[in-house]
Structure 1
Amino acid sequence: MVFVYVCAMVACVVLFLPMVMAGYHLSRNKMLFFGAALFITLAVGVHLTPYFPSISRFTPNAPNSSSLASEISCLAYVDHVRWQNRALYVPDSDGFDSSLRTWDWARSDPVLSCGFQKLGKKDVLDLLNGSWVLVAGDSQARLFVVALLGLVLDDEKMIGAERDLFKRHSDYRIEVEENGMRIDYLWAPYTENLTIAMSQLESESRRPDVLVMGSGLWHMLHLSNPTDYSNSLFSLKRSLVKNKLVGSKTHGYWLGMPTLVNSMLNTQEKQERMNSSTLEAYNLEVYRSKILHGSGGSLLLLDVEELSRDCGLECTSDGMHYTKVVYEAALQIMLNALLIESEQRI
């Protein structure tokens, strides 16, 4: 190391002494002298910086800008899907056979470059190995959990899981033996219920690795007050920040409300209060609350409204709850977003 410093000093003398001696002769042209000095100084600095650890330490390691740009770009395209094989009417059944409805990511260049893929059981078990997945909300969130369980459980276990999961207005928990994953579902039909649930997590020794939540349908039906819904969203956002439930360790997602088919809703009260204009007003409050990623928040939107609308009327029997393919699509979008985020955080 001493040898390096000695060599550096000698180099400085060899380079700068002639320049100083020539300074007198260049004094009539100060710009020329300044330019020569600046050029030589920069050249010395560039060549000697690697030999001085103390200097290199102050040179920040720039992030991989192309990789960061790719992550942001792919998150923007992860929900660009298209539906195929419109369901066919089956005269001998109750109506349309929605099981024929399929989906895939769009074939545009940006989407193709991201390499999105439908993950199978092994992929999901690997991705969520040892993870705690917490899903909280109403019946939409429950159907999302069904989609997740359908990927990680075999048929026999799935029968028992669905039986327990669909006990009216109840919570549910399961631990997957294959990978040590824990899945929790919390019945939380109102945003206030979500806020309380998030506050109770403060006493937990760990935070969820994946957090999926959503609400609005019950509030729309029983209160029908977008302003009150907005206030509850702001309270939820404060709770998430206070309890550090989204960030570097927890991946957060907001499960949007589905498209409402007013004529198919099964009660007069639902038809009066749950319509497209009210849904639009409630969705606007979600964006105004800045709880979503891209608007100041950290929860990535799983847009069930768009997925259900594009799937079509044949994908719902009651105008509110949709066939499993819609929630499977939302799940796959979340899993691919999780892959993108995880790669950036590892």
Structure 2
Amino acid sequence: MLGAVQLGLFAACVVLFVPMGMAGWHLSRNKMLFFSGALFITLAVGVHLTPYFPSVSDFVTSVSSIVVLDDRDSCFSSLHEIDWEVKARPDFNPLSNNSVNYEKSWYWRRSSSVDSCEFQKLKRPDVADLLNGSWVMVAGDSQARFFVLSLLNLVLDSNQMELARGSLFKRHSNYQIVVDEIGMKLDFIWAPYTTNLTDLVMGFKQKRNYPDVLVMGSGLWHMLHITNASDYGVSLQLLRSSITSLLPISPEFGTDGPVTGSVSVRSPHLFWLGLPTLINSMLNTEKKREKMTDLMRVAYERELKESQILQQFGGPLQLLDIGSLSWNCGIRCTDDGMHYDGVVYEAAVHILLNALLIESHQKL
């Protein structure tokens, strides 16, 4: 019995030579017939033979992969293209001109690049499907707490949220919850310094276990209490090295999963929670106004870029740009010039969720 390859070649020869011989017989009467027939048959044979030549198939597959990769990169770069609408509430109180006097809403900017990515504000059932059975960890300072609060708001009901809010905002403490309905485990780790984050990552490596989604961020405490951008940059480089050694692509784990031990074979989805825009005149202590200046924030942002910890600069973590989100929302979205209204962190959560959809090639 002929194999698939031999049968394909035989069929191709029949398709190629029989019609071409017939067309050649009529060559003296109609040269155009021969030319057009040969062109058509050559293309047809090429299509039929492509699966039997791995090099050609691999080339076509590689080209398709490049196109998909380009689309993904384009969508990643468009995730932060968000516009804001901030307007006074109907019950605006001019005697108490704080952020609660304003209604805020956000939406992805209308453009061809953004529209093609089909970004969505995910509803609770969609978030439940996406994070079902996942271990999510967020580590950092108070900015990270607000991020966790916005994430929980998408998976918990109002009664559960009240309980979570009280537990989450205990000063300088960790927090953990398991959402039984979707089997999601969420940890918040109080880690205000980059060295704390490095210790956390090294703990993952020792235990050979790490979360499915890891969100980290630091800088505010370092800026306030150490106030040394260069030192911050060094700590970021150490963190980057620790994260790189943790990833499954390292020799310890192998390219197709772990070689030994019981570590998960899935690569973690890694995100960096950026520094917020600091409005110096609104900061609520003299020490903050003295230490956390615009120049210092720019220096810290420069060190973040030069550390190459972010994907856009060749690193492992994708940026959740709280700086641009808070800047675009504006002064009416904060009361203390550092911590912003929940809508800012809500936008960051939806950016993360859509990034997960892109990484997993999913659409809801």
Using structure 1 for the length normalisation, give the TM-score. 0.83
Residues 37-186 of structure 1 mapped to structure 2, 5 A cutoff: 49=49, 55-56=53-54, 59-60=57-58, 61-62=61-62, 63-88=64-89, 89-91=92-94, 93=96, 95-97=98-100, 100-186=103-189
Residue type of the alignment partner of 1:229: Y
CA 1:92/1:231 → structure 2, altered by over 3 Å: closer, same or farther? Answer: same
Shifted more, 135-144 versus 248-257: the winner is 248-257
Does 1:297 find its partner at 2:295?
Answer: no
1:303 Cα offset (Å): 0.8
Aligned residues: 317
1:314 Cα offset (Å): 1.5
1:91 Cα offset (Å): 3.1
Any stretches of 5+ residues in structure 1 without a counterpart? Answer: 16-41
Q: Indicate if the aligned counterparts of 1:90 and 1:97 stay in contact, CA closer than 8 A.
A: no
Q: Indicate if the aligned counterparts of 2:333 and 2:340 stay in contact, CA closer than 8 A.
A: yes
Runs of 4 or more above 6 Å deviation: none
Residue 312 of structure 2: SS of its match in structure 1? coil
Q: Which position in structure 2 is the counterpart of 1:272?
A: 290
Residue type of the alignment partner of 2:319: L
Does 1:325 find its partner at 2:363?
Answer: no
Residue 167 of structure 2: SS of its match in structure 1? helix
Pick one of 273, 278, 302 that aligns with 1:255.
273
Pick one of 217, 238, 255 that aligns with 1:214.
217
Task: Please give the alpha-carbon distance, in whole angstroms, between the structure 2 residues aligned to 1:124 and 1:214.
Answer: 23
Does 1:201 find its partner at 2:199?
Answer: no
Residue type of the alignment partner of 2:290: E
1:244 Cα offset (Å): 1.5
Identity over aligned pairs, percent: 47
Residue type of the alignment partner of 2:190: W
CA 1:56/1:191 → structure 2, altered by over 3 Å: closer, same or farther? Answer: same
Residue 85 of structure 1: SS of its match in structure 2? strand
Q: Indicate if the aligned counterparts of 1:87 and 1:97 stay in contact, CA closer than 8 A.
A: no
Residue 100 of structure 1: SS of its match in structure 2? strand
1:276 Cα offset (Å): 1.1
CA RMSD of the aligned region, Å? Answer: 3.0
Q: Which position in structure 1 is the counterpart of 2:22?
A: none
Residue 152 of structure 1: SS of its match in structure 2? coil
Residue type of the alignment partner of 2:77: A
1:57 Cα offset (Å): 7.2
Deviations 1:259-295 (A, max 9, x none): 1111111111111110111111101111101110121
Q: Which position in structure 2 is the counterpart of 1:39?
A: none
CA 1:334/1:275 → structure 2, altered by over 3 Å: closer, same or farther? Answer: same
Does 1:285 find its partner at 2:306?
Answer: no
Any stretches of 5+ residues in structure 2 without a counterpart? Answer: 18-41, 251-265
Task: Please give the alpha-carbon distance, in whole angstroms, between the structure 2 residues aligned to 1:215 and 1:327.
Answer: 16
1:151 Cα offset (Å): 0.9
Q: Indicate if the aligned counterparts of 1:87 and 1:314 stay in contact, CA closer than 8 A.
A: no
CA 1:47/1:264 → structure 2, altered by over 3 Å: closer, same or farther? Answer: closer
Task: Please give the alpha-carbon distance, in whole angstroms, between the structure 2 residues aligned to 1:313 and 1:186.
Answer: 29
1:90 Cα offset (Å): 2.1
Residue type of the alignment partner of 1:242: S
Q: Indicate if the aligned counterparts of 2:50 and 2:56 stay in contact, CA closer than 8 A.
A: no
Deviations 1:92-113 (A, max 9, x none): 6563435511110001221122
Residue type of the alignment partner of 1:287: K
Task: Please give the alpha-carbon distance, in whole angstroms, between the structure 2 residues aligned to 1:284 and 1:166.
Answer: 31
